[in-house]
Amino acid sequence: MNGSQDPGARPSTPLHVPVLLETTLELLAPSLDRDEPSVVIDATLGLGGHSEALLTRFPGTTLVGVDRDPEALRLANARLAPFGDRFRPAHAVYDAIPEVLDDLGIDAVQGVLFDLGVSSMQLDEDDRGFSYSRDVPLDMRMDPGEPRTAATVVNEYDVRDLARIFRVYGEERLADRYARAIAQAREATPIRGSAELVAVLERATPAAMKARGHVGKRVFQALRIEVNRELEVLERAVPAALDRIATGGRIVVLSYHSLEDRTVKRALAARTVSTAPRGLPVETDETAPTFRMLTRGAPSAADAEVERNPRAASVRLRAAERIRGDSRDA
C-alpha cells in the first residue's frame, strides 16, 4: 500500500515507492532478525514493496500478505514468487487477520505491518475511480467484487447521510451545502463520473473558499472511506492483530490522515497504559499494560523522502512491542 490521500494528477514517482521503508524495517528487526523462524503479517499487501523488503532483509521470516484487492494480490504474487512458500497470500480484508492465521495454522506472529490508505495501483489506474482531477467512473472499491460503489453512495444516500460522511470522514466544512447540491443535481440525472461530481461541488463552493485547494479532495476521501468501510474495519483490525502478536513481537502502522491515526492511537493506548485505579499500590496482571510504545507521538517522513516520494508527505507512524500477557506465545 501507499497511502496518499490526494488522488490528483499522475505522480512523477515510480508506480510503488514504499513509505518509511527503512524505518519500518528497523522497527521490526528486533522481532524478526532472530535464530528461530518468525512470521510477519503485511496486512495491506498492495504491490508488495514493503513485503519484498521484509522477505529480503529477514531470510528466516515467513510473510502472510493480506489484501482485499484481487489484482493487487495477482501482481504481488508475481513479484514475490522468488521467495517460494515464505510468502503466503490471502484474499481478505485486514480485520479478518484472525481467520487468515487460523486457516494457515498460525497461532502467533512476531510482526505486523499496516500501511493504510489507497494503494498506488488503485490511485493511478483510471478504471478504479479514485481520482478527482481526471474524469473517471465513480467507483472507489478496493475490492471490485463488492457491490457498493461511490456512485451508489452519491446517488442513493439521503442528504443527511451524505452530509454526515462528508463531515466525519472528509472533515469537510461545506458538508451540508455539498450534500444538498448533490441531491438537487441527481434529481435530473444520476451522477456517474468524477467530472460531473466535481462540477456540482464547484458550483456549490463560495468563491471565497475556492482558494483552499481542490473542491473534491475531502469529499472524495469521505466517499472512499465510506465505500470501503475503512475506519470501521480499522477499529476491528488493529486490536485483532495485537491479540495475535507473540511476546517480543512488534506492530508498525503507517497512517495518512487524522482519522486513521486517531483510531490507531486509541487502539495502542488501550494496550500500553495501565488500567489500574489511581492510587492502587500494586500493579496486577489484569491491569498491567501488555505493550509498550516504540515511538514518541507519530513521526512523519523526512523532507528528503517527501521530495523523492510526494505520497509520503502526510504519513504518520506508530509502533509498539508486546512485553507481556501473550496466551498464544509460541
- Rounded CA gap, 130 and 116, in Å? 15
Annotated binding site: 48-50, 67, 94, 115, 122
Neighbour-count burial for 154-172, b at 16+ CB within 10 Å, e otherwise: bbebeeeebbbbbbebbeb
Q: Is the dihedral of CA 4, 76, 37, 285 positive or negative?
A: positive
Which cell goes with 71?
489484482
Contact indicator for 52, 86 with CB cutoff of 8 Å = no
Q: Length of the chain in residues, anyone?
A: 330
Annotated binding site for S-adenosyl-L-methionine: 48-50, 67, 94, 115, 122
Query: Where does residue 24 fall: left (phi above 0), alpha (psi -120 to 50 degrees), or beta otherwise?
Result: alpha
Q: How far is CA 34 from the centre of its chain?
A: 28
> In sequence order, what DSSP letters do the residues of 63-77 get, joined into one string?
EEEEES-HHHHHHHH
